[in-house]
Amino acid sequence: MKLELGKHCLVVLSVLMAFQAKSALSQCTQDGPCKCTSDKGTLDLTPITGNPPFSDQSDSSGSWLFSYSPCTPFTEGSMECTNVAACQVSADMSQTYPTGTVDSATFGQGSDGSTQVTYASTDSSGTTRTTIVTLTCDETADPGTLNVVGEDPNNAAHYDMTLTSKHACFSGSGPGPGPGPNPGPGGGSDGLSVGSILCIVLIATLFVYVAAGIAIQKGVRKASGKEVIPNYTVWSAVPGLIKEGVQFTFRGCKGSSSYDKV
C-alpha cells in the first residue's frame, strides 16, 4: 500500500492544527453582555449609551427599521419590544418584533475572524428571532454607526448588522498578571499575551535545539558543511512536504485504489 497517503494527511493535519491554535488564541472570553477579553486586549461596549443609541435604522430593503442598544435595555413601539437590545419595526409602524435581549448577548467569532455579538428574543407568538452584530473598529467613531443589512435571505428570522465604533476596538494587550504593589503612573503593565508567550517558548526551544544539535554534530560526529545541521535530511524535505500537502488538500484526502507491486 502506498505510504504517501499517511505522509500527506499528516501535513494536512498539522496545517489544520495550526489554524485551530490561532483561532483559539483569538477567541474572546465574555465578561457580561458588553465586554470580552482576548489575546488582543479588552473590548468594552459599555460606553455606548442612549435610549437606544441607534434608533430606527433602515435595512437594505427599506421595509424595516431597526433599533439597537448593546448594553442598556430599551422599550419601543408595542409591548413586544419591552426591555430589549434590538427591535424590528415595519416602515409604516404597524408591526413590531423583538430581535434580541441584552442578557442573551453572546460574543463569538465570524468566519472571517471578526468579533460578533449574537442576541435572541422570543415574541408572544413563540417565534424566536436572532440578531448578529459584527463589530468593526474605528478609533474616530464615537459612539459610531450602525449599518443594518436586514434579514438573512437564507436564514429566516436572523438579522445581520455591523457596528462601527471606537468601542469595538480592543484596548491593551490581553489578559496578563495584575499590577504589583507599586504599578507606577498610569497603572500596571498589561503583561504578555498567550500568543507572545508561546512565540517566546517556540523561539527559545528552536534556538536550543539548533545550538545543541550543531555542537553534537561537530564535536561528536565530526560532521562538516551542511551536515552540521541536526536532522538535515528531515528539514530539507519539509518545503517539499508542505507543497505536496497543500496540493493534496485541494485534491482531497483520497487514497489510491491500487497497491504497489510486491
Between 234 and 90, the more confident residue is: 90
- And the C-alpha cell for 152? 438573512
- And the C-alpha cell for 165? 465604533
Per DSSP, the three-state class of 77 is coil
The pLDDT of residue 252 = 60
Between 201 and 4, the more confident residue is: 201
Per DSSP, the three-state class of 153 is coil
The pLDDT of residue 121 = 95
Q: What is the pTM of this model?
A: 0.59
Per residue in 38-60, pLDDT (tens digit) is 888 999 999 999 889 999 999 98
In this structure, the number of other CB atoms found within 10 A of the CB of residue 126 comes to 6
Output DSSP code: residue 171.
B
- And the C-alpha cell for 203? 523561539
Domain boundaries, the chain: 4-20+192-251, 41-168
Report domain 41-168's class. Answer: mainly beta
**E strand residue ranges, the chain:** 29-30, 35-38, 41-44, 54-58, 64-68, 74-76, 81-84, 86-90, 96-100, 106-109, 115-122, 128-137, 145-152, 155-165
d(CA 121, CA 104): 8
CA distances from 30 to 108, 117, 144, 176 (A): 9, 10, 22, 16
